[in-house]
Amino acid sequence: MSELPEKVLVANRGEIAVRVMRTLRALGIASVAVYHREDADGRAVREADEAVELFGDTPVGAYLDVPGIVAACGATGASAVHPGFGFLSENASFAEALAEAGITFIGPPPSAMRSMGDKIESKRLAAAAGVPTLPGSPDAVSDVEEAVAIAAEIGFPVLMKASAGGGGKGMRIANDAAECREAFERASSEAAASFGDGRVFVERFIGRPRHVEVQVLADGHGTVLHLGERECSIQRRYQKVIEESPSPAIDAETRAAMGATAVALAQAVGYVSAGTVEMILDEDGSFYFLEMNTRLQVEHPVTELVTGIDIVAEQIRIAAGEPLSFGQDDVRMDGWAIEARVYAEDADNDFMPAIGRLGLVRFPAGEGIRVDHGVVEGQQVSASFDPMIAKVAAHGATRAEAIARLRDALRRTVLLGTVTNTAYLERVLAHPDFAAGETHTNFLAVHAEALAPVPADADVERCLVAAAALASPRYDQRLAAPEPLASMGSWRP
Amino acid sequence: MHRLETHVDPNAPGYRAFYQHNKELSAELRETLRKARHDRPQKALDRLAEQQKLTVRERLDLLLDRGAPFLELMPLAANRHYDGEAPQALLVTGIGVVSGREVMVIANDSSLKGGAWYPITTRKIVRALQVALENRLPVVHMLDSGGANLHLQDEIYSVAGHIFQQQCHLSAQGIPQLAVVFGYCTAGAAYTPTLCDQTIMVRERGAIFLAGPPLVKAATGEENTTEELGGADMHTTVSGVADYAVDSEAEALALARDVVGVWARRDKADSDRRVPEDPFHDPDQLYGIIPDDIKKQFEMREVIARVVDGSLFHEFKPNYGDTMVCGWAFIWGFKVGILGNNGVIYSEAANKATTFMQLCDRDSIPLLFLHNVTGFMVGREYERRGITKDGAKMLMVQANVTVPKLSVLCHASQGAGNYAMAGRTWDPRFVYAWPNSRSSIMGPEQAADVLTQVRVAGLKRRGEEPSPDEVSTIKREVTAYFESTYHSYYLTSDLRDDGLIDPIDTRNTLGMSLSAVLNAPIVRAPGGVLRI
Amino acid sequence: MPFEITLGDGDAHAVDVARRGGRATVTIDGRDYHGSLRPAGDGYELTLEDRAEPLWIVVQGDEVLVHAFGRSWSLSIVDPIERSRGGGPSEDVATAPMPGTVVRVEVAAGDEVAKGDVLLVIESMKMQSEITALRDGTVEQVFLAVDDTFDRGAALVALVPEPEAVEAD
């Protein structure tokens, strides 16, 4: 059995860097932060034992600076790197560069990253491992007529999807052959522009899909197990905003089937560390492989809340060569957890990213509440990075309790200085369809009208106006009338 | 201090009769004030609107801090003069709060006669400036007057110079003055804004010049527009006569609030203060305590109990000279020494008052005189005991104490009694009167008797014997003259007080007055307290 | 003159405040409300008549950000006097604050400028000063060229006049 590293560099920023450091501290491991100048006063830098500045053409570029990170490990003596998510977390070359320098990458082997990073390859591997895949083109299509033919075979509507894409870029829906031609051209050209790869998949389009994913853990000794599922159907712009575990849509049987499927895939690709198999769940209960994320997920806290397992800690132990200390039967899902992603964005205005200085920050605490955040009061929220400020999650005995706790927590999440989506998230959680578990990936679009903000009523507006007046130095306190005149009010003889 | 006991029975028939009588006086006062302040012919209001001018009341609302009191002074000036054509003497003045500072406001009312000065207007300005000077109150002049009413120039000119002289003295005392020019300030009136430290002018409407365009044309043939000759832009960019030019009255007043807000806030004179407390006994009962006839007596302690904090009073020499109630109390948290009449002044009462004033002077406690006095006691015994000597001591000490003095004419205030109790001619800082009060050199009946005796004696010297009819005619004439000139409404019209007040407003009026007087330091002259 | 306070993009309210001690009278659209704002917990407590609400506040200039009733709100405060001083023809034309010479011209007709952008640089009494745009807009005309001299008050750069703001009902 190997030793845990003494010092780990966290090659990330914001809330996930802070979250990783929390586990490092719990394991008695020293932490090294890397940061771009814009994050110099950030919470991650404050929480780390050491911090190394990185440079880049852009602020994001700094966190993609592989030689810089390798050098920082050398300079600080960090023997392992946790990549968080995003940035270099799914970059196989990065993992290889670290390995070359004798540094442990806390994540899967580069080979697994590579095979799962390619949509076509991953789908092929999944199918081979017996994972159901959406009916569609077995390979990426580069010819429009071929796409039309395949579409006709699998039946309309179909979805066109960039081979190298993600985040909704290069996605098109087609209801007939004519639309199919147009959609192919556009998806292909978008994909070519964005990713330098114009190849496109054609697959069956599911009208009311749910996004359900399975968390897997695999050690280096051949043990692979799953930690149940997360449902992440509440999305805007193809990005998750509310995630929960378990899913309100599946029963134990489906759970077991999905779990087994995910485990089989992980085993097929020789997976090690934590990973997530994303699937689409149709209304009839059938599920199809979407992709596998070879890293920690943003929404991992809901799994941690219901299973009690620290996924980051498991990643670190696995990377150190330790075998998993528990088996599949030891994994129990207790109660319900829901996470809401707090973004600096104007949910009422097409989710436009917002910026500003966080003049006041107060996060909720209490029974069943977990907040992952990386901000400090006074911090500038800039357009340089992803606009996610925090993740507020709630755990309850039942789904209803988790919803109630999360709504209350969001109401108590105070982030003044930029526009955030907390009120919007609370409205989503308050929607009767959400309470009924009627969640699908179109939820926010379908209910857009019901989720629009309601204007403040007169009483509330009066309170706010009065508060603003009383708080503003415009109404100079030094101008108060002297006593006892002030006590006489507006008396006139 | 101890809570004053009350012996008022609100169910007694006498109380109820008094109550009804005084409530009617109160209603009459309020209606008279309302008319004087607000009743203007529609034509006059239309003309203001046409000139895009606000009424003086609207201007005050924009100037004064909302939610803060305004103590209007001399509100019924000239109400019984000039056939009532100059309500309030076309001038509003009072102590208000602007940007948290107590200030004296002096504002022309141009709704009638172009806001022209009458003789009482002139005296009212002088008095307002005197109040500002004595109590170190910054002044905001709100100028919108056509100038002196030339038909009455004699009575105006004999007083008007004091206005500008007092402005200079205010400046010497370090008391700031601001002028807001809404209309023309022509000739002498040009000096009021110019003697102020800061001046705001409204474009197109405000002007300052020694002579307006017509007079200049007549004198030199030069032709000018008003704006060229003395407009806001010229004075604020060329001559430097004024400092700020604005486009509207609202803007002018908002800026005025800014200017006042920048002035220094001065500490008040050191005095005993405590947390204010409402009177324990209901002030509304004052209406049932004050008699319905000037000749009827009442207990002044019942009045004190309805004016002072918590109805708490520490009485001085309670068993001596009982027609003079002396003692200490707090009003709105300010400590005062109160002297109240319970009838005619005897030697003992005068002596007690004299010593009490010296005690208050020693401790820098302002004095409050509550008048119900028909004079000093007359008669052989009292003359032989030197009542005049005792009265003279009281006058001497009263005149020379350096603490601020306030007077309220609660009922009768006659003869030398008015002098001893710091009546208007003894220059107390403030004098107020209740509507039921009467003040004259002596009572009208006694005066009628005296005058009738004199006239009858004169007729007799010429060998004539007046008929009973003639005697009653003489008596009626004299009584009528007295009735008209000792009446509270006449006196206040002639500025013999700083305002008629509803008894219920006494406490607030005194609270604001005490707050004002403490803006000036109290400097005590050395001297011992005499036990006399 | 009361300030105008607007919640979000709602209607402006005329608001004044009179304080005494910890209490205040807030006048909103001519109606008086008694209230106070005191630190409480890690934020504030607002009382208004018989209501008491916990809230958090950040004042950023004339923007007041409030977290209350479970969400955040943004309110803006405008001094109508300041607003009336703005606007008008003075913002359309940049004029010379003193006599001098043009050192540099930074804009040409048709250029989009933002408030505060340098239009040109002048020299006077051996001192150089920047003439900046008083509002956002488009340059209509530059009246002078480098080395031109001018008197105090001379027009330097004109912006295309803005149409009068249309009053919304």
- β-pairing, B405-414 vs B312-316, is unpaired
Q: Are A44 and A374 in contact (CB under 8 A)?
A: yes
> Per residue in A426-442, pLDDT tens?
999 999 999 999 999 99
A188: helix, coil or strand?
helix
Q: Please check whether residue B263 touches A, CB under 8 A.
A: no
CATH code for the domain of C151: 2.40.50.100
Q: What are phi and psi of A156, to 5 degrees?
A: -80, 160
Residue A291 known to be catalytic = yes
Q: Answer whether B70 sits within 8 Å of A492, measured CB to CB.
A: yes
- β-pairing, B139-143 vs B177-181, is parallel
Determine the average pLDDT of the residues in A458-474.
Answer: 94
Closest CA–CA distance from residue A472 to any residue of chain C (Å): 7
Q: Answer whether C1 sits within 8 Å of B253, measured CB to CB.
A: yes
Determine the average pLDDT of the residues in B488-511.
Answer: 97
Determine the average pLDDT of the residues in A190-208.
Answer: 81
Residues C28 and C98 grouped into a single domain: no
Lowest mean pLDDT among A352-356, B92-96, B414-418, B422-426: A352-356
pLDDT of residue A478: 62
Please pick, among A179, A190, A203, A291, the residue that the annotation labels catalytic: A291
CB < 8 Å to A360, chain C = 56-58, 65, 67
Residues C99 and C32 grouped into a single domain: no
Q: Please check whether residue C63 touches B, CB under 8 A.
A: no
Question: 């009575």: which residue's tokens?
Answer: B155
pLDDT of residue A421: 96
CB < 8 Å to A473, chain C = 59
Q: Please check whether residue A397 touches C, CB under 8 A.
A: no
What's the full length of chain B, in residues?
532
Distance (Å, whole) CA B220 – CA B240 = 24
| C-alpha angle C44-C48-C52 in degrees, rounded to nearest 5 | 50
Q: Which residue of A has its CA nearest to C59?
A: A472
For B14, residues 6+ apart whose C-beta sits below 8 A from its C-beta are none
Concatenated DSSP letters for B62-121? Answer: HHSPTTS--EEESTTTTTTSGGG-SGGGGEEEEEEEETTEEEEEEEE-TTSGGG-B-HHH
Question: 């570029």: which residue's tokens?
Answer: A61
- β-pairing, A380-381 vs A356-357, is antiparallel
Residue A451 pLDDT > 60, yes or no?
Answer: yes
pLDDT of residue C87: 41
Q: Answer whether A481 sits within 8 Å of C35, measured CB to CB.
A: no
Residues C76 and C95 grouped into a single domain: no
Q: Are A462 and C27 in contact (CB under 8 A)?
A: no
pLDDT of residue C90: 56
> Per residue in A382-419, pLDDT tens?
888 888 999 999 999 999 999 999 999 999 999 999 99
Closest CA–CA distance from residue B99 to any residue of chain A (Å): 5
Lowest mean pLDDT among A258-267, A313-322, B448-457: B448-457
> Per residue in B99-143, pLDDT tens?
989 999 999 999 999 999 999 999 999 999 999 999 999 999 999
Q: What per-residue string of b and e applies to B247-264 under the rule 16 or more CB within 10 Å gives b?
A: bbbbbbbbbbbebbeebe
pLDDT of residue B265: 86
> Per residue in C54-83, pLDDT tens?
999 999 888 999 999 999 999 999 887 776
Closest CA–CA distance from residue A489 to any residue of chain B (Å): 5
Which pLDDT band holds residue C84 (cuts at 50, 70, 90)? Answer: low
In the complex, which subunits touch B with 3 or more CB pairs below 8 angstroms? Answer: A, C
pLDDT of residue A153: 85
Residue C21 pLDDT > 80, yes or no?
Answer: no
- Percent of chain B past pLDDT 90, that is, above it, reads 83
For B338, residues 6+ apart whose C-beta sits below 8 A from its C-beta are B304, B308, B313, B325, B326, B327, B328, B329, B367, B368, B370
Q: What are phi and psi of B316, to 5 degrees?
A: -95, 135
Which pLDDT band holds residue A1 (cuts at 50, 70, 90)? Answer: very low
Residues C59 and C17 grouped into a single domain: yes
> Per residue in B283-306, pLDDT tens?
999 999 999 999 999 999 999 999
Selecting from C1, C25, C84 the residue whose C-beta is nearest the C-beta of B67 gives C25
> Per residue in A357-386, pLDDT tens?
999 999 999 999 999 999 999 988 888 888
> Per residue in B70-89, pLDDT tens?
999 999 999 999 999 999 99
Closest CA–CA distance from residue B65 to any residue of chain C (Å): 7
CB < 8 Å to A487, chain B = 276, 332
Q: Answer whether B508 sits within 8 Å of A493, measured CB to CB.
A: yes
Q: Please check whether residue A473 touches B, CB under 8 A.
A: no
* Total number of domains constituting chain C: 2
Class of domain A210-446: alpha beta
Q: Answer whether B253 sits within 8 Å of C32, measured CB to CB.
A: no
pLDDT of residue A169: 64
Residue A154 pLDDT > 70, yes or no?
Answer: yes
- β-pairing, C155-159 vs C51-60, is unpaired
CB < 8 Å to A493, chain B = 71-72, 75, 499, 501-502, 505, 508-509
Determine the average pLDDT of the residues in A147-160.
Answer: 86
Which pLDDT band holds residue B444 (cuts at 50, 70, 90)? Answer: confident
pLDDT of residue C163: 61
CATH number of the domain located at residue range(s) A7-106 in this protein:
3.40.50.20
> Per residue in B256-268, pLDDT tens?
999 999 999 888 8
CB < 8 Å to C81, chain A = none
Determine the average pLDDT of the residues in A218-247.
Answer: 94
Residue A247 pLDDT > 90, yes or no?
Answer: yes
Residues 186-225, chain A: which have Cβ within 8 Å of C? Answer: none
CB < 8 Å to A488, chain B = 68-69, 332, 508, 511-512
pLDDT of residue B90: 97
Selecting from C1, C32, C81 the residue whose C-beta is nearest the C-beta of B67 gives C32
Distance (Å, whole) CA B255 – CA B202 = 11
CATH number of the domain located at residue range(s) A135-204 in this protein:
3.30.1490.20
CB < 8 Å to B100, chain A = 476, 478-482
Selecting from A412, A423, A474 the residue whose C-beta is nearest the C-beta of C77 gives A474
Give domain B52-262's CATH architecture.
Alpha-Beta Complex (3.90)
What torsion, rounded to 10 degrees, do the Cα atoms A132, A134, A138, A142 define?
-160
- Name the average pLDDT for chain A: 91
Describe the crossing of helices A110-117 and A92-100 by its angle, rounded to 10 degrees: 170
Residue A255 pLDDT > 70, yes or no?
Answer: yes
Q: Answer whether C81 sits within 8 Å of B247, measured CB to CB.
A: no
pLDDT of residue C168: 37
Residue C134 pLDDT > 70, yes or no?
Answer: yes
How far is the CA of A48 from the CAs of A19, A80, A103, C146, in angstroms? 11, 15, 19, 56
Chains A & C: contacts with CB separation below 8 Å: 149
Q: Answer whether C59 sits within 8 Å of A417, measured CB to CB.
A: no
Distance (Å, whole) CA B339 – CA B514 = 16
Domain that holds residue C75: 3-82
Q: Are A83 and A94 in contact (CB under 8 A)?
A: yes
Residue B329 pLDDT > 90, yes or no?
Answer: yes
Q: Please check whether residue A465 touches C, CB under 8 A.
A: yes
Residues C92 and C142 grouped into a single domain: yes
Residues C33 and C60 grouped into a single domain: yes
Determine the average pLDDT of the residues in C73-98.
Answer: 73
Terminal-residue alpha carbon distance, chain B: 24
Q: Please check whether residue A492 touches C, CB under 8 A.
A: no
B373: helix, coil or strand?
strand
Residue B326 pLDDT > 90, yes or no?
Answer: yes
- Which amino acid type is present at position B440? S
Which of C82, C104, C127 finishes a domain?
A: C82
Residue C167 lies in a domain: no
Closest CA–CA distance from residue C43 to any residue of chain A (Å): 9
- Name the average pLDDT for chain B: 94
Residue A214 pLDDT > 60, yes or no?
Answer: yes
CATH code for the domain of C33: 2.40.128
Residue C91 pLDDT > 80, yes or no?
Answer: no
- Name the average pLDDT for chain C: 84
pLDDT of residue B474: 83
Greatest Cα-to-Cα distance within chain C, rounded to the nearest angstrom: 68
Which of C82, C104, C134 finishes a domain?
A: C82
Lowest mean pLDDT among A15-24, A193-202, A320-329: A193-202
Residue A257 pLDDT > 60, yes or no?
Answer: yes
Residue A479 pLDDT > 80, yes or no?
Answer: no
Determine the average pLDDT of the residues in A292-321.
Answer: 96
Residues of chain B with CATH 3.90.226.10: 11-40+267-439+487-527, 52-262
How far is the CA of B307 from the CAs of A360, B282, B311, B329, in angstroms? 50, 9, 7, 10
Domain residue ranges in chain A: 7-106, 135-204, 210-446
CB < 8 Å to A482, chain B = 97, 100-102, 268, 515
Determine the average pLDDT of the residues in A456-470.
Answer: 95
Determine the average pLDDT of the residues in C130-155.
Answer: 86
Residues C114 and C131 grouped into a single domain: yes
Which of C82, C116, C139 finishes a domain?
A: C82
Residue C99 lies in a domain: yes
pLDDT of residue A477: 63
- Of the candidate CATH numbers 3.20.20.240, 3.40.718.10, 3.90.226.10, 3.40.50.1820, the domain formed by B11-40+267-439+487-527 belongs to 3.90.226.10
Lowest mean pLDDT among A341-345, A419-423, A440-444, B476-480: B476-480
Q: Answer whether B67 sits within 8 Å of C18, measured CB to CB.
A: yes
